[in-house]
Amino acid sequence: MGVVEVYAGSGQIITIAIMAVALGLDAFSLGVGIGMKGIRLLHVLQLSLFVAFFHVLMPLFGLVTGDYVGQLLGQVTQYAAGGLLLLLGGHMIFNSFRPGDSGGLQAVDHRSLWGMLLISLSVSVDSFSVGVSLGMFVQHILLTVLTFGACGGLMSMVGLLLGRRVSRGLGDYGEAIGGAILLGFGLLFIF
């Protein structure tokens, strides 16, 4: 294995880590809002584990889909992946500035099993789209999904715990920051 291959592999790992953090910011900001309402430590742990699980499952489905699409598209793969990230990043930024957007999810009972599943799935859906983009060129599938799961679970836990202690304004722009990061990667893939 040459120096160029090692560098390309580490560059891909850094890209995956940054994307995992960007996607985890959505779980973080929603966690702050839920934590503000008051949440027991047991529910913090349960909800964070659900988020971690869905942050593994959704990008795994996306990676498999993206690998298939990448084989179909051939040369255009990089542009398709970049375009998808641009759309997803723009969508996340747009949603972060819509008034009352997360209020519906925060109204869900986070203590019930169905509430935890709904919240976890909702903050993990974006991971599927990113997984599709990454599936067109990523080589480390297991590392990718485990990184997404660890970041999603950890960031939701930090958000929930932080929400128990601080004011609501801290997490309001988490989704916008995550969207801006994905938008930047989309532009990077295209150009």
pLDDT by residue for the chain (191 residues), tens only, comes to: 433 343 346 777 888 889 899 888 888 887 887 887 778 899 999 999 999 999 999 999 988 888 887 777 776 767 877 787 788 778 777 877 776 544 455 456 777 888 888 888 888 888 888 888 887 777 788 888 999 999 999 999 999 998 887 644 544 566 677 677 777 877 877 77
Of 188, 187, 180, 172, nearest in space to 102 by CA: 172
Q: How many CB atoms lie within 10 A of CB 177?
A: 18
Q: What's the token pair of residue 156?
A: 């939701």
